[in-house]
Chains A and B, each alone.
Chain A
Amino acid sequence: MALPKYTETRYRIWHYFYIAICTFVFIFLIAPLFVIFPLSFNAEEFLVFSEGMKNLDPDAFSLRWYKDMVYGTKNPWGLAAKNSFIIAIFATLGSVILGTVAALGLSSRHMPFKGIIMATLISPMIVPLIISGVAIFFFMAKAGLAATHTGIVLAHIILGTPFVVITVTATLSGFDHSVTRAAASLGSNPVNTFMKVTLPLILPGVISGGLFAFVTSFDEVVVVLFLAGLENTTIPIQMWTGLREQLSPTILAVATCLIVLSTLILISAELLRRRSERLRGINR
């Protein structure tokens, strides 16, 4: 962003001002995540940078909160993590299957009432979570699924499918349908065509939709707060209770782990996006 030599002074000043604003916003966005890292290694119980930490004294850092996270008897983080992963994996599977199949139908040009059906399918994304929470709770309570894993998985499928539907329909919009016709003319049945031809081509879209669904489920707290019993506690619920009652450094250790996880998810999502862009480029 180098400025040409002939730039007038006032535009030069404006340009530096603009760069300064952008720098400030980027710091505002990313810095909060980095505060957590050093504090989670704090040797003391307080959530402030101690004098020792400021002087980079090695004794001021420790892994005690990570140990507490794993071995601590009072903290049900182990159970919460297990539940969170089980629920998120099943919710993702459900969302991906239901969402991909629906997206296939939606992107067919024969689909009747496309607008209204699409609006219904993505409505869980638009309706505020608190309302979804109330509605889903009423259903689960009536169906006797409140405070069960099944109930939470179903709830997260509801919340996760819109992402799959949107990403897969977007991928399918650049999809060349003549390849499926070619497969059919070569004698392949529809299921086989889907598995061997369509799916490999739209896989990046399916996986990135799945990642969205996974993160939605893994991070979801509003609906789970209505549904979960003691046995179904998840990481977000534990964090929520922890943050409400008292901020302990153990929460920061958990938060650090979650940031590492989200970094991994970000990297895979980015790789997938680039791959799918490349694939779409070939189709053009």
Chain B
Amino acid sequence: MSSETKQILTTDGIPLEISLKKAERKNKIKAFLLVAPLLLFLIITYIFPIGEMFTRSIDDKMITNMLPKTFKSMESWDGKELPSEEVFASFLSDFKILVEKKEHGKLAQRLNKEKNGFNTITKKLFRQVKRNKIDETQSIKEQIMKVHKRWRNVEYWQAIKRTAPPYTSAKYLKAMDMYLNEDNKITQVSEDRRIHRILWLRTVEVAFFVTVFCFLMGYPIAHLLATLPMKYSNLLMICVLLPFWTSLLVRTASWMILLQQQGVVNDFFVMIGLVSDDNRPEMMYNKVGTYVAMTQILLPFMVLPLYSVMKTISPSLMRAGKSLGGTPFVAFWKVYFPLTIPGIGAGCLLVFILAIGYYITPALVGGASGTLISNQIAYHMKTTLDWSFASAMGLMLLGGVLVIYWLYNKLVGVDNIKLG
């Protein structure tokens, strides 16, 4: 009897292979069903809205829907000289519909964003239309051109044509202080109006230096915590964990008290004679405040991953290094330090990612020179209500974070995230 060729059957007579596959599939579905509720919930309430941010940030359909006939007839226009009678006629009929719906103001606003001067000439045209001054039996082109001299200027018609596509990259360009000029070329805004680029640079700068400060302060104490005997290190660990669990606003509030001009830090400086009483330095509402407060707030996120890595390094390695003739410094640098690199990577990228999206602390202690890009996003969400611009900036920030996160995953691995 050749058992190799004969199929193994289960008790119900089904081949074992098929039966196993069936069980496997069943297990897969079971596992997936357990994850499904949360996954579905997140996709609907979170992932999908982030996608919606994207469509919102490039959406320019409003004007496309306002002037459907105009854009249709403009398709055959080469854009060099004034458009034909047909374009003028379809523009007028689109415009009349807008006047009826009382939406001509919106049109003027949108066109004025594209090119200055549309507000006035749209209003003039509106008055003519309202008084029924335009005779449709005559040449509409001639009559519109008589309304205002700008209607005779081909640049204004080119501006209208530029708004035709339902999507625009304008918000993204605006976030980088750029815009599309008349020839569809990307141009920088004038020097004194470049505010966003400063904010982006400042955000990266603050995040970078906060990360460096956190590393410089976190490394020694993580080392101390990992090498001290358990009963002391547990006690000192409270110093790291208590701030970690304490409300962000509470910690920001305490920094506001400490750093104010009559505050404890300044009192101390005066007491030890570092500064004179009537010349107390301004430490809040500027970058100093942002740096100090953010470093303290984010420090636990540096110490905890470092500590968990250092805890696994056996002290005998350092002893071996020393006994092989290395000075303590050499032994540290050649043996201990390389072993802590995974912890350094985890800590630094965690702190950097958190710092780059920081909002509350800079808004409270940062003042005007300490605000970051997140504050700008919040400003456009809540004050100017330019949600598409806020979305565009948010997505650019998200893109940056994802690149960093991808690097983090490449270098350290996501699974190394440890929480306390």
Seen from chain A, the residues whose Cβ lies within 8 Å of a Cβ on chain B are: 1, 11, 18, 21-22, 25-26, 28-30, 32-33, 35-36, 39, 47-49, 98-99, 101-102, 104-106, 108, 110-112, 117-124, 126-139, 154, 157-158, 161, 163, 165-167, 212, 215, 218-219, 221-222, 225-226, 236, 239-240, 243-244, 247, 251-252, 255, 258-259, 262-263, 265-266, 269-270, 273
Q: Complex: how many Å from CA A252 to CA B28?
A: 53
* B224 part of interface (Cβ distance < 8 Å): yes
Query: Which of B68-76, B106-114, B356-364 lies at the interface?
Result: B356-364
Q: How far is the CB of A85 from chain B (nearest CB, A)?
A: 14
Smallest CB gap from B37: residue in A? A98
* A and B contact pairs by CB, cutoff 8 A, 28 listed: A1-B227, A25-B218, A32-B258, A33-B246, A48-B262, A48-B267, A98-B37, A98-B41, A102-B34, A102-B37, A105-B30, A106-B34, A110-B27, A122-B414, A123-B42, A127-B357, A128-B398, A130-B374, A131-B377, A138-B49, A158-B45, A167-B419, A222-B378, A243-B253, A255-B250, A258-B247, A262-B246, A266-B241
- A110-B24, A126-B405, A243-B256 known; A139 vs B251 contact (CB < 8 Å): no
Most buried by A among B228, B243, B249: B249
B contact residues, range: 35 or more
A127, B398: Cβ atoms under 8 Å? yes
* Total cross-chain contacts (CB, 8 A): 257
B-chain residues with CB within 8 Å of residue A101 when the two chains form the complex: 34-35, 37-38
Query: Which of B50-58, B90-98, B336-344 lies at the interface?
Result: B50-58
Q: Complex: how many Å from CA A222 to CA B387?
A: 16
Contact of A255 among B220, B236, B254, B263 (CB under 8 A): B254
A39, B28: Cβ atoms under 8 Å? no
Q: How far is the CB of A82 from chain B (nearest CB, A)?
A: 17
* B46 part of interface (Cβ distance < 8 Å): yes
* B328 part of interface (Cβ distance < 8 Å): yes
B42, A124: Cβ atoms under 8 Å? yes
B220, A21: Cβ atoms under 8 Å? yes
A108, B46: Cβ atoms under 8 Å? no
B-chain residues with CB within 8 Å of residue A133 when the two chains form the complex: 378, 381
A240, B360: Cβ atoms under 8 Å? yes
Add 9 more A-B contacts to A130-B357, A131-B398 (CB < 8 A): A30-B243, A32-B255, A111-B31, A124-B42, A130-B397, A138-B53, A239-B247, A243-B253, A255-B254
Most buried by B among A29, A47, A240, A262: A29
Contact of B401 among A128, A135, A251 (CB under 8 A): A128
B-chain residues with CB within 8 Å of residue A32 when the two chains form the complex: 243, 251, 254-255, 258, 296
A-chain residues with CB within 8 Å of residue B218 when the two chains form the complex: 25
B35, A134: Cβ atoms under 8 Å? no
B46, A111: Cβ atoms under 8 Å? no
A-chain residues with CB within 8 Å of residue B414 when the two chains form the complex: 118-119, 122
Contact of A105 among B33, B250, B257, B258 (CB under 8 A): B33
Contact of B49 among A11, A29, A106, A139 (CB under 8 A): A139
Q: Complex: how many Å from CA A76 to CA B255?
A: 24
Most buried by B among A32, A158, A240: A32
B56, A138: Cβ atoms under 8 Å? yes
B33, A129: Cβ atoms under 8 Å? no
B window 327-378: CB within 8 A of A: 328, 353, 356-357, 359-360, 363-364, 374, 377-378
Q: Complex: how many Å from CA A106 to CA B239?
A: 34
- A29-B240, A135-B46, A222-B359 known; A36 vs B257 contact (CB < 8 Å): yes
A259, B239: Cβ atoms under 8 Å? no
* B420 part of interface (Cβ distance < 8 Å): yes
Q: Complex: how many Å from CA A117 to CA B414?
A: 13
Q: Complex: how many Å from CA A92 to CA B30?
A: 25
User: How does the 8 Å CB contact mask read for B193-233 relative to A, with 1 for contact and 0 for none?
Assistant: 00000000000000000000000011011001001100000
B-chain residues with CB within 8 Å of residue A111 when the two chains form the complex: 28, 31-32, 35
- A110-B24, A119-B414, A124-B42 known; A130 vs B378 contact (CB < 8 Å): yes
Q: How far is the CB of B284 from chain A (nearest CB, A)?
A: 11
B46, A117: Cβ atoms under 8 Å? no
A126, B353: Cβ atoms under 8 Å? yes
* B313 part of interface (Cβ distance < 8 Å): no
